[in-house]
Structure 1
C-alpha cells in the first residue's frame, strides 16, 4: 500500500516526515503548525507519528505509526522522495545522505543541533528551530529546499561519493569472513584488551599528578 501510494504521487512526488522513534507526542500547537503547513503543498505527505492526531487533516497527508524509513528514502521511492523533514537523528541524516534526499531539519535535543549545522554546511538543506516554529518559517524553509535545485544537486553529489566504494556490504562481509578463516583474529585484537587496570585507567599518571599537586599545595601553605 505504501509503495502504491508513492508511485501514484504524480510529478510532485512525496515529502517524508519523521521526527524519530522517541517522539511519540507533540504539543497540539506544534502538531497543528506542522500539519497545516504540510497541507499547503501539492505533494503527497508520508508522516511517521504514533501520537493522537486531529480528525481533520489535509487530504494529501498520510500518517503511519511506523514505516521503513530507509526504504521510503531510497529503493522504494527514489526519485519520488523530494524532501525529508527530520529531527536530525544521526541515522536519519546518514540515510538521507546515502540516498541523496535534501532535508529540512527541526532539531529537538542534544546532537541533533550539530546534525542541523552539518546539513547546512554540507549544502543539503536548512533547518528551523523548534522553539520558533510557525507556519511561515517552516513553509519558507520547505519552499527554499524544494525550489532551489542546488540542494538536490549537492545531495546527489554527496550520495554518489558515499556509494563510490570498492566493495558493497555483501562483498565486504565475505572478505572479512574469509580473512578471519584464513588468518585468525589475533592480529585484529585491540591493544587495550591486554592493558592492566593501572594502565587502562592511567592510575600511575593520576598518582603522579595528585602527588605534585599535594607537594605544591603543602609548599604554598
Structure 2
C-alpha cells in the first residue's frame, strides 16, 4: 500500500521507476514504469514447521523470540528466492551502470542483500519502513534510542514503563540487536557472496550498507507513535496511502445509509483472514452481532458462513478507507495493523483492537491507553467479553470524543504525507545523496557510539583513584602499626 502510493506519485511527477516486487501493480502505469515480478512462492509451510503452528491465529501466542526467528526465516528464504530470478540477476549483471538510476528506494524489512544495488550503480539510498519506527532504525541513522521510554516495536508497551517493563524492554531490545547483528545479517552477507560475487566492485557488509541510507521514510505520525529522538533524515509519512474517499459500491452504500443506529466495520486485514478463525470464535462473534441494533460490515474471505444475522453483510473484499469515511460507521473492529489504525484515526472511528502478532500489540495498546480504543486478546474472546467491549465503545461517548481529538492531531501537518515523501525523495536526488544530513555517529564503532570507551575510562580513573587512596591508607596504617610494635619491644 505504501509503495504503490510512492510509485504512482513518482510516475505522476515524471520519474522513471523500475520496481522489483512480488505483488504486481498493473500494466496501465505508463511507459516510465518497469516491473520485475518475483514469482509467487509460499513460505508458510516452512514457518509452520519451525513454529509448530497450524493457523495464523496461533501467532497470537507467539513470543518475541519466535517472531524474530520467523522473520529471519522468511527474510532469508524470500531474499534468496528473489536473487535467484533471472530478471533480478540481469539488473546486477548490467555493465552500463553510469546514469542508469539516480536513486535506490528499498523497504527496510528483511531483504538487506538488495542494498548492494546502490553499490552496483553508485547511487544514494532511501529506506522505507512500512512498520513505522523500529528501534534498530535509529541506530542505522546514527541516533541512540533510549530504552527507558521507547518500547520495542513488537512489545505491548508504551512510553510510560514501570521498572519491570523497562527491564523487559531492555532485555528484548538487546536480544533483537544481538540477533540482527550476529545471526541474521551474516545470512544476508552469505547471500551477497553467493549470488553477487561476480560484481567487479567490493560489496560491503550489510551492517555497513544499511548505514548509507540518506533518508528513512517512516510509516508513522503523531499521536500514533510516541515522541523519540530522531535525525533530520527520519521523515514521518504515516497516512500517505489515505486519499479522499470515493463513492461506495451501491450495495455497501445502501447498507450503511440505512443503518439508523449506526454501523460497525470488521476486518482483520489481508494476512489474518476471518474465514480461518476457529469455529468457537466465529460462533461468539455471530452470537453477539445478532443481538446488536447496529449493522455490521464484515470482511470475510469465503462463502462458508450461512444463516447470517439480518444485520450482518459479508464480502471478500471491501474499500476500507471509503467505508470508514461514511458518517454512520461508529466502530472499527481491527487487528491493529498500522495502515488500518491510521485510517481509523484519520476518519475518527473508535476501535476494538484484536491484535495477533508483531506491532499490532503495540499499536492497540497505545490506542487503548490513549482512550480511543479497547483491547481484546484473541485467545480470551468470549461472547460476554466481546459484547461488553462493543457496547462500551458504542454507548460511552468518551471514546468518540477522545478519537476526535486524536484525529485532529493526526491530520494537522505542515505538509501532506505524500508531498513530504516526494519532497525528500527529490531532495536526495538533487543533492546526490545529501551527505550533509548524515550523522557522524554512523562512523563510530559500537563501543564509541554508546560511549562505553568513555565510561570505561572514567570507571578506570575513579576505581584507580579509590584504589590508590586505599593503598596509601593501608601503607599509613601499616607504618603506624610498625611504630607501635617497636615501642612495645623497647
TM-score of the two chains, using structure 1 as the length reference: 0.76
Corresponding residue SS for 1:145: helix
Deviation at 1:125, TM superposition (A): 1.6
Q: Against the structure 1 CA distance between its residues 92 and 178, is the aligned structure 2 distance closer, same or farther, given a 3 Å change threshold?
A: closer
Deviates more, 1:104-113 or 1:160-169: 104-113
| Equivalence for 2:267 | 18
| Equivalence for 2:365 | 117
Alignment counterpart, residue 80 of structure 1, candidates 328, 343, 347: 328
**5+ long unaligned stretches in structure 2:** 1-248, 453-490
Kept in 2, the 8 Å contact 1:73–1:95? The answer is yes
Residues 50-87 of structure 1, C-alpha deviation per residue, up to 9 Å, x if partnerless?
1453310101111111112122112xx1x221000111
| Equivalence for 1:35 | 286
Deviation at 1:195, TM superposition (A): 6.4
| Equivalence for 1:154 | 402
Are 1:65 and 2:313 counterparts? no
Q: How do 1:73-112 and structure 2 match up within 5 A?
A: 73-74=324-325, 77=326, 79-112=327-360
**5+ long unaligned stretches in structure 1:** 206-221
Distance (whole Å) between structure 1 residues aligned to residue 261 and residue 380 of structure 2: 28
Kept in 2, the 8 Å contact 1:84–1:96? The answer is yes
Distance (whole Å) between structure 1 residues aligned to residue 371 and residue 354 of structure 2: 16
Corresponding residue SS for 1:50: coil
TM-score of the two chains, using structure 2 as the length reference: 0.37
Deviation at 1:176, TM superposition (A): 4.6
Residues 103-136 of structure 1, C-alpha deviation per residue, up to 9 Å, x if partnerless?
1112222332222311210100212222221111
Residues 111-168 of structure 1, C-alpha deviation per residue, up to 9 Å, x if partnerless?
3222231121010021222222111110110000100111011111100011111222
Alignment counterpart, residue 127 of structure 1, candidates 333, 352, 375: 375
Residues 164-189 of structure 1, C-alpha deviation per residue, up to 9 Å, x if partnerless?
11222454466557756765543477
Which is higher, the Rg of structure 1 or of structure 2? 2
Alignment counterpart, residue 45 of structure 1, candidates 296, 315, 324: 296
Corresponding residue SS for 2:356: coil
Distance (whole Å) between structure 2 residues aligned to residue 159 and residue 115 of structure 1: 15
Distance (whole Å) between structure 2 residues aligned to residue 90 and residue 190 of structure 1: 28
Q: Against the structure 1 CA distance between its residues 93 and 170, is the aligned structure 2 distance closer, same or farther, given a 3 Å change threshold?
A: closer
| Equivalence for 2:253 | 4
Q: Against the structure 1 CA distance between its residues 172 and 137, is the aligned structure 2 distance closer, same or farther, given a 3 Å change threshold?
A: same
| Equivalence for 1:214 | none
| Equivalence for 2:26 | none
Distance (whole Å) between structure 1 residues aligned to residue 422 and residue 393 of structure 2: 40
Q: Against the structure 1 CA distance between its residues 159 and 56, is the aligned structure 2 distance closer, same or farther, given a 3 Å change threshold?
A: same
Q: Against the structure 1 CA distance between its residues 186 and 44, is the aligned structure 2 distance closer, same or farther, given a 3 Å change threshold?
A: same
Task: Name the count of aligned residue pairs.
Answer: 199
Corresponding residue SS for 1:62: strand
| Equivalence for 2:43 | none
Distance (whole Å) between structure 1 residues aligned to residue 428 and residue 365 of structure 2: 40
Distance (whole Å) between structure 1 residues aligned to residue 319 and residue 381 of structure 2: 27
Deviates more, 1:34-43 or 1:139-148: 34-43
Kept in 2, the 8 Å contact 1:26–1:51? The answer is no
Q: CA RMSD in A?
A: 2.9
